[in-house]
Structure 1
């Protein structure tokens, strides 16, 4: 049982890192948007909303889920900023 908990913790950390990397990958689209090569705004808008909901969920659980919160906060800012810069 202890080994399963360790494996699950490792998977949780990996998933958190991958989530942050997924939202950091918006930076090239933001740069393109700012240079006039606009991308589709729908996906980053939905990602920003999704991250907001997950952050609220993680924060208001009886025991706060800090990995979920930490993994989704970058997505809130980068998702909505990517959406904003894609509008033209």
Structure 2
């Protein structure tokens, strides 16, 4: 197995990565199975992941609507006008 890793140019010490590098798809299934088993066995961790996902949805979905309005669509009609405006703003900010 060491030769396979050296021939591919992968310097891997982790057994999971070594399994993936030498077995391809079968190794990928092994790694995915490892994580699936880990998530199935969680009790508190599952609740924490749900809280994290809800927070991300709130941050990127809802807050975006209120704090980041789409100014380019409201000010300009065509894509070329929007592009020209962005280029001018970038150039003027660098000077």
**TM-score where L is the length of structure 1:** 0.31
Q: TM-score, normalised by structure 2?
A: 0.29
Q: Which has the higher contact order (CA 8 A, sep 6+)?
A: 1
